[in-house]
Amino acid sequence: MARNPNTVAQDAGANAALIEIQAGLGKPQKALSPKWLYDEIGSQLFERICEQPEYYIPATERAMLEEHANALDAFCGTRCIVIEPGAGSAEKTAILLGALDQPAAYVPIEISPTALQACKRRIAHEFPNLAIMPLVGDFTAEVALPRIGNLQWRRRVLFLPGSTIGNFDPDTVRELLTMWKRMAGVHGGLIVGVDLRKPREILEAAYDDAAGVTAQFNLNLLRRLNREFGADFDLDAFRHRAVYNDALGRIEMHLVSLRQQRVHVGGESFDFANGETIHTENSYKYRPGDFAELALSAGWGRRDLWIDAQSRFSIHCLDA
C-alpha cells in the first residue's frame, strides 16, 4: 500500500523521539528534555502554573512591561518588526505591542501549529491593522524570516519573555544569543526576560506550588510517555521534586521513584532504585551582571536593564 509521505515523516519523527527518550532513561542520571513536558495537557497545566501565587514570574514580568511601556516604545522605535521565538499564547506580547507607537509587523515562531494559530487569532483580534506572519519552528531554530514585501520597517526586535532561556545552560544560551543576533540583523534589538537568583524557599515554592499544579505538570510527562510511546509508568510510584541547586544557580525538577521498580518504554526496560530520579527540567537563575556579561560575550550591547522592586525578575534590552 502506498504510504502518505506525511505519515512516513511522522513515523520517523516518533521513532527519533523514542530513541532520544530511551537514551535519556539509559543515562546514569536519568534525564528527559523539558520539551516533552509541553503536550496539549502539559501546555494547559503550564498556563495554570502561571496563575499560582507562588509562581511569581508572569505577574512580575507583566507589571514590569506595563511600567516600562514608554521605554519599550523608545527602544523599539517606529515601524519595528517584533519577532517572538516560542510565542506560545503571546500573552505578554500584547502588552509589548500595545506599548509601541507603530509596529510594522509581528512574527510569532512556535513549534505547535495549533498554538500558533491561536496566537495569530488573538493578536489579530487585538491589533487588527498589524501585519502578522506566523512561522512554525522550534525555539532554538534559526528560521529564515519571511519576505516582508513592500512593508516599510526600520528595526527587528526579538522578544523572549518569561525566562524561557532559563531552560538552557549558560553555554547554550550564549550560542542562542549569537544566533538571535544574526536573526535580528544590523540595528536589531533584543528584549529578554531573565529570572533572578533569590532565596531557596521562594524558588522551591515557585516550582512546587501548594495546589500541586507543578507536580501534575511534571508527572504528566510520564502519562504522555505511557500514551504516546507505550510505556508502563505507574504514576502513583513517582513523585514530583523541585530543588534549588545553589552551586549551579538553577532549579531542578525531578521525578522521584518511590520504590524499586522496572519500567518498559518501547520494548526496552529501565530499572529504578528506590529514590532514583529522572531529571526533567532546569530553570537557571542569574545575577543581573552575570546575564549582561553573557549577552556581551555573544556580541550584544546593553541598552536598558530593569529589575522589579522586590528584585525578583529582570528585563534586559540589548542592541545588536
**Residues at the interface with ligand AVJ (CB under 6 A):** 49, 57, 162-164, 166-167, 207, 214, 281, 283
- Residue showing the smallest CB distance to ligand AVJ in the complex: 283
| Minimum CB–partner distance for residue 57 and ligand AVJ (Å) | 6
Question: Based on CB atoms, which residue is closest to ligand AVJ, 81 or 111?
Answer: 111
Q: Which residues contact 288 (CB under 8 A, 6 or more apart)?
A: 194, 196, 305, 307, 314
- What is the per-residue burial (b if ≥16 Cβ within 10 Å, else e) of 164-200? bbbbbebeebbebbeebbebbeeebbbbbbbbbbbee
Alpha-carbon distance of 278 to 114, in angstroms, equals: 29
Of the candidates 86, 126, 92, 91, the one whose C-alpha atom is nearest the C-alpha of residue 107 is 86
Rg of the chain (C-alpha set): 21
Please say which residue, 58 or 188, places its beta carbon nearer to ligand AVJ. Answer: 58
Shortest distance in whole angstroms from residue 7 CB to ligand AVJ: 31
In the bound complex, what is the minimum distance in angstroms from residue 8's beta carbon to ligand AVJ?
A: 32
In the complex with ligand AVJ, the residue whose CB is nearer, 85 or 162, is 162
**Nearer to ligand AVJ (CB atom), residue 16 or residue 211:** 211
Nearest-angstrom CA–CA distance, 184 and 282: 27
User: Minimal distance in Å, beta carbon 171 to ligand AVJ?
Assistant: 17
Q: Can you list the positions of beta strands (E) in the chain?
A: 30-31, 80-85, 105-110, 131-132, 135-136, 155-160, 189-195, 238-245, 250-257, 261-265, 268-272, 277-284, 301-307, 313-319
Q: How far is the CB of 67 from ligand AVJ (least distance, A)?
A: 21
Nearer to ligand AVJ, 64 or 81 (CB): 64
| Nearer to ligand AVJ among residue 123 and residue 203 (C-beta) | 203
Per-residue CA distances from 28 to 18, 116, 237, 272, 279 (Å): 18, 37, 20, 11, 11
Residue with smaller CB distance to ligand AVJ, 22 or 164: 164
Instruction: Work out how close the CB of 272 gets to ligand AVJ at its nearest, in angstroms, rounded to a whole number.
Output: 22
Closest approach of ligand AVJ to the CB of residue 165, in Å: 8
The gap from C-alpha 257 to its chain's centroid, in whole angstroms, comes to 26
